[in-house]
Amino acid sequence: MGKTISVRSGLVLLAALLPAGAAFAGWEEGQAAWERRDFAAAAAQYRPLADEGNAAAKARLGQILFFGLGGVPRDDAQALRLLSAAAEAGDPLGQHALGTAYLAGRGVPKDVAKGIEWLGRAAERGFPESLNALGELYFSGAGVPRDEARGVEYFRRAAEKGYPASLEKMAELRWNGRAVPIDRAQAVADARAAATAGRPVAQFILGVALLTGEGGAKNLPEAANWFRRAAERGHPQAAHNLGAMLASGNGLAANLPEGYFWLSVGAERAPANLKATYLRDRDGIASRLSPQDLAQARARLAAWKPVSSGSVGPAGGAERDAPPSASASPPEGKAPPPAVSGNGGRGRMATGTGFVVSRDGTVLTNAHVVESCRSISVTPADGQAIPATVQAKNSGDDLAALKTTLRLDDVARFRADRPLRSGDEVVVIGFPLSSLLSREANITAGVISAMAGLRGDARHYQITAPVQKGNSGGPLADMSGTVVGVVSSKLNAMKIAGQTGDIPQNINFAIKADIARRFLDDNSIRYETASAGPVGSAADVGERIKRVTVFIQCRLD
């Protein structure tokens, strides 16, 4: 369970410690360097301020050192000293950062209670990043007892402060009526604020509202505009909706080649349960294009890349692995700069889960986890990260096999005898919300709630076990510890709205083991099976399966 970091106040106590006039010399220069992402120059300005006792400078410098931003060498020990001092002085960024460190066990012994305490202190000061982080933790039950009502309260408080991620979450909940009463009008208001800030899921929600007229007036051209903005960031359902509108001339001028292009983007990035429908819609338009238009659209598609959305995670994919926000409080009377997310110079990262299926180190995961990766690494339990390469991939079934040099004492075994039934208990093992939580495998339990996925897709189980971004590609195990499926990315309910005009709730899916085994057979990858054995507890199953489960990191650029 980790948390994100930022700062706005806490400097009132410092004023008496710094000489008049020179107290904040260099602060504005440091802020300017931060805003242009010149972290080395920012560190040079913050360092003397930190030496003089400026808590905000300590927190900001600590962030730079903790993540090695801008090529500044990472120094966990010095970073933690600075962040601890800033936190003790009441600086929310320092408190938030220190809470994150304790939750992740990085630079300090892992201590969940201390992590929650420091995040809570920052949240008490109204620090939006901490409020949002606590909302994520309590709403999902990731590392703390699940309490959706408490999570919603944290989201609501952060949303009231204009925090885009929380506005987006409240829009989703209010539209769907999950954990809060349905309120489409307020959902649209929340979505508009988050969409304007660049949140692609909010942009999609707003597009759906304008397309259907729910929560306000219909406005098809504006709906298309918001679908386009989300589609440009790689949101598959938004791309599909935009393509359909262009192809049909619904709300804007018909343009078959442009419609085909966006339908293709949606089809390529679609989750497994929507893949066949999206491909069919795309191919239906392809048959109406001239060979020249088709060739031009396909060439454009081959060169297309989604627009970076900063710290916003990819819609429908694994959560981006970015360090906490590093906004910091300026001296009193100075307006705070926009929050900036750094990544230690590593580039954008996606993360997910996989599990070892063969003695030669082959790892099975979702295809979307390793989509567009420039490099991939896998980290086993109690091990070091090692490189991996894609050995085989089937985007239609959303499965991929990675070649690694792992040689573990054991491998995952697929259940070979009795079929599962609705109501059977299962366990999910994975690495959800990895930018917030520790890199220890997370174990959650649930049941098989349906023997088919969305629209009767027989390739999937529907499960009640909580699934978050980062669980993608992890094993679904029965209560004897044999693998019965591969967890899919959590399907955001909003993404179904483009097909139905409504947003369902609590949709979690896993690809059935027989589909995974067929994929392995098709690619001549050996694996092991076992009969279901004695039933154990979720803890027993998790203890065994997490030994063969790996954390996957994908460098996107």
Could you tell me the residue ranges of all domains in the chain?
12-126, 171-303, 348-557
Structure tokens at 150: 């408490």
Question: Do 362 and 387 touch, CB atoms closer than 8 A?
Answer: no
Give per-residue pLDDT as tens, 148-205. 999 999 999 999 999 999 999 999 999 989 899 999 999 999 999 999 999 999 999 9
- The mean pLDDT value for 494-518 works out to 69
CA distance 472 to 539: 20
Structure tokens at 546: 């997490």
Strand-strand pairing, 363-365 and 399-403 = antiparallel
Give per-residue pLDDT as tens, 472-486. 899 999 999 999 999
Quick one: what percent of the chain has pLDDT higher than 90?
A: 53
CATH topology of domain 348-557: Thrombin, subunit H (2.40.10)
Strand-strand pairing, 528-530 and 413-415 = parallel
Maximal CA-CA distance, the chain: 77
Lowest mean pLDDT among 260-274, 280-294, 456-470: 456-470
| Whether the predicted pLDDT of 111 surpasses 60 | yes
The pLDDT score that the predictor gives to residue 79 is 92
CATH topology of domain 171-303: 1.25.40
**CATH assignment of 12-126, given 1.10.3720.10, 1.25.40.10, 3.30.565.10, 3.40.50.300?**
1.25.40.10
CA distance 270 to 305: 15
The pLDDT score that the predictor gives to residue 340 is 26
Degrees, nearest 5: CA angle 495-368-155: 45
C-alpha pair distances (Å), 380 with each of 335, 361, 410, 428, 440: 45, 11, 12, 17, 10
Question: Do 373 and 553 touch, CB atoms closer than 8 A?
Answer: no
Cα-to-chain-centroid distance, residue 341: 14
- The mean pLDDT value for 54-76 works out to 90
* Equal fold, 12-126 vs 348-557: no
- The count of other CB atoms within 10 Å of the CB of residue 386 is 15
| Whether the predicted pLDDT of 454 surpasses 50 | yes
| Whether the predicted pLDDT of 295 surpasses 90 | yes
The pLDDT score that the predictor gives to residue 336 is 28
Give per-residue pLDDT as tens, 16-27. 233 333 345 678
